[in-house]
Structure 1
Amino acid sequence: MSKIKLGIIYGGKSTEHEVSIRSASSVFDALRKDKYELELIYITKDGQWLLANDKKEVKIIDQTKGREILVSPASGLTVDNKVLEIDAVLPILHGTAGEDGTIQGLLELANIPFAGCSVRSSAVCMDKDMTKRLLQENGIETAAGIMVNYFEQDQVNYKDVETKLGLPMFIKPVNQGSSVGVSKVTNESEFYQALELAFNFDSKVMIEKGIDGREIEVSVLGDEELFVSVPGEIVSNTEFYSYDSKYLDDDGAVLNIPANLDDEVQKRIQDIAKKTFRTLDCEGMARVDVFLEQSGKIIVNEVNTLPGFTSISMYPKLLEVSGIPYADLLDQLVTLALKRKERENRLKTDLL
């Protein structure tokens, strides 16, 4: 049986560039080398695509040690004027220009199968405002929030927002991940500082009511048939589960897998995660994050369509505890990508 020619795309024009490299390194180590012929594709912070000459490890590639890749809707990926034969890719990218539908659209145009959600669901899930609207319309509880765009920021009044949402509140860029640009606000001076910070990362900002609840995460895998992991709990040792807590501070948080929940609550969380996945038209993979209030109410916080894949990331760890080892997870993601491309190839593109 011939090997599957698989590309790993990592890096990217994102604040999460370094996290992407760490995720891709873990993916590379876990992939079964007897099953895949791997190509390492690095996207610089400036957006240049480079093909690694050395396939022994995932690392930053400079122009002198990599060959530039061109992406074409007609021929796919080309290097040195030759087509780079790829059966599928794992886009191990986080944040903007990675999980927001842009790279998915580019791969779709180039007719290259890719793991994870489609262009549409990737874009919707990255946009916290659109996610909230769709979930609320389908009866799924989310935190109360106010969306402010760049042109309205001077019109935002702290007292009005405090009256509506109370304290504490959280201010976050609408189209960012990994808690980049997120602040917890407890007074007026923090409020305006947090707005300024968030607008450094996006032209739309979400102001949300603070939720007093346990932070629970669930991994979802599949297409027609969905597998939902056991829930895991994040117990933060800082003010909230920030970027530093996730990636830089070893003592920033404790991850309890599985979470200490009774069977009824666990099933409700899993059912809500599945409904959320379907409502947002997700496919392949997503991590659904919720708050569990003391009253038992479950509130969806966010949906991550390209979750972290580092050795300590919740998405693969939750699935591993649920009976799907890391290498098997990657095999399933590649299989799902190829299956979706088969379905799409059956669709008509003309009326003849």
Structure 2
Amino acid sequence: MTRVALIFGGVSTEHDISCKSADNVIAALGDRFDLVLIGITREGRWLRYSGDPAEVTGAWEAHDCVPVSLVPGEGLFEFCADGAARPLSVDVALPVLHGQGGEDGTVQGALEVAGVPYVGCGVMASAVCMDKDASHRLAASAGVRSPRCEVLWRGCSDEVRAAAAEACGGFPVFVKPARGGSSIGVSRAADAAAYAEALDAAFALDEKVAVEEAITGVEVGCAIVGDAVRGTRMGEPDEIVVSGDGFFRIHLEKDPGANTELRCPAQLPADVMDRVRAAGMAVYEALGCEGLARVDLFVTPEGEVVFNEVNSMPGLTYYSRFPQMMRVAGRELGDVLAGLIEDRLARR
């Protein structure tokens, strides 16, 4: 049976979301592959977890674990109780990691150096997708409009901060950690006081912050798998209807649907949906994505499609958007991931 290293957890603020994604992936793939569970603690330790898979969303790192290391050119090794290292044989890795230190090209680069094939976007695409400034520039070069966006660095002056908001068209603006996800640290600022608080919150998570024009419209998403060489496929685009504070933050809610209604398929005119699909695919290819990703876009009241961001490893929890978009298109998550694993193994 094919041995798949399922890598989860991580050092980012999205650690818990990654564990929830892993839990759902285990349920989808557990009887198809020999899953080797490798968790990354919040401190960055790699551990092979051999306990009950149902506990990956709990305190898994407290028991049934041995340290794991990547060795350049040699693959994965685990360290036994006596301190001896032995090879940990796997056929392919599936890094279900979200945020910095996992979804940004760092783990992907480590796997490549170690010679471990993996499913998902490569080093460059992962890094570009994670950085909102870089991804906006590439999307714009592919002909997809992006919101006006200014970059601020931690420690910048009040004058530079004020100029960034003005360059984005004035208030309201969105303030985001430039290399974050799941809406963690994201704020909508309607005035100068809220803007100052939003910048403090974002700079606490990232020394690089993106200030973006607030786009009026509906947020839609495109779940895409494959690559430019072997072909790409798209799930059914969805549509987000948000109440409350006005932006999507599904992973921050105890009740994932608390402030959000997801409509899949999106309830938009056919010509608009055609533009959404075309824009989603254009961004996916322009950023060099492969394996799987979710491209998020806005549709304005005038029907214009505007780029928002790309998740190079989208959430895979039971309530996440990517699995739902694929399911509505007729493909369950287990089938999608199994196909990607088989495709990656065929390229070895």
Alignment TM-score, normalising by the size of structure 2: 0.93
Whether 2:54 is the aligned partner of 1:66: answer no
In structure 2, C-alpha distance between the alignment counterparts of 1:239 and 1:110, rounded to whole Å: 44
Question: What letter corresponds to residue 208 of structure 1 in structure 2?
Answer: E
Q: Distance in 2 between matches of 1:164 and 1:129?
A: 13
| Partners of 2:301 and 2:51 in 1: CA distance | 52
**Equivalent AA in structure 1 for residue 238 of structure 2:** G
Is 1:40–1:55's contact at 8 Å kept on the other side of the alignment?
no
Question: Counterpart in 2 of 1:79?
Answer: 78
Q: Distance in 2 between matches of 1:39 and 1:32?
A: 10
Q: Deviations over 1:35-81 (max 9, x none)?
A: 31111111110111111122543523235421111111132111131
Per the TM alignment, residue 158 of structure 1 is displaced from its structure 2 partner at its CA by 2.7
Q: Percent identity?
A: 36
| TM-aligned CA deviation for residue 204 of structure 1 | 0.6
Question: Is the contact between residue 230 and residue 266 of structure 1 (CA under 8 Å) also seen in structure 2?
Answer: no
Do 2:184 and 2:252's aligned partners in 1 also have CA atoms closer than 8 Å? no
SS at match of 2:60: coil
Shift of 1:138: 2.4
Report if the CA contact (8 A) 1:7-1:38 is conserved.
Answer: yes
1:198 & 1:286 partners in 2: Cα distance?
24
Q: Tell me if 1:26 matches 2:24.
A: yes
What SS class does the counterpart of residue 116 from structure 1 fall into?
coil
> Could you say what the CA RMSD is over the residues aligned between the two structures, in angstroms?
1.7
Q: Taking structure 1 as reference, are residues 86 and 191 closer, same or farther at Cα in structure 2, changes over 3 Å only? A: same
Task: Please give the alpha-carbon distance, in whole angstroms, between the structure 1 residues aligned to 2:240 and 2:120.
Answer: 24
Aligned runs of 1:1-352 on 2, under 5 Å? 3-33=1-31, 35-54=32-51, 56-59=53-56, 60-62=59-61, 64-80=63-79, 81-158=85-162, 161-162=165-166, 164-223=168-227, 224-243=230-249, 247-249=253-255, 250-340=257-347, 342=348
Alpha-carbon distance change, 196 to 56 in structure 1, aligned in 2, over 3 angstroms:
closer
Tell me which moved more, 134-143 or 104-113.
134-143
The CA deviation at 1:119 is 0.4
Q: Quote how far apart the aligned CAs of 1:245 are.
A: 6.1
- 1:248 partner letter: K
Q: Contact (CA 8 Å) 1:116, 1:337: kept in 2 or not? A: no
**Structure 2, unpaired ranges of 5+:** 80-84
Paired residues of 1:50 and 1:63 also in contact (CA < 8 A): no
Secondary structure class of the residue paired with 1:62? helix
Post-superposition shift, 1:137? Answer: 2.1
Q: Which residue of 2 aligns with 1:347?
A: none
Contact 2:8–2:38 (Cα < 8 Å) also in 1? yes
List 4+ stretches of structure 1 deviating above 6 A. Answer: none
Contact 1:236 1:245 in 2 (8 A): no
Aligned position for 2:82: none
Question: How far apart are the structure 2 equivalents of 1:213 and 1:28?
Answer: 36
State the shift of 1:258 in Å.
Answer: 0.6
Please tell me the residue identity of whatever aligns with 1:175.
R
| Contact 2:250–2:259 (8 Å) recurs in 1 | yes
Instruction: Report the alpha carbon displacement of residue 336 of structure 1 after superposing the two structures with TM.
Output: 3.1
User: Shift of the alpha carbon at 1:167?
Assistant: 2.3
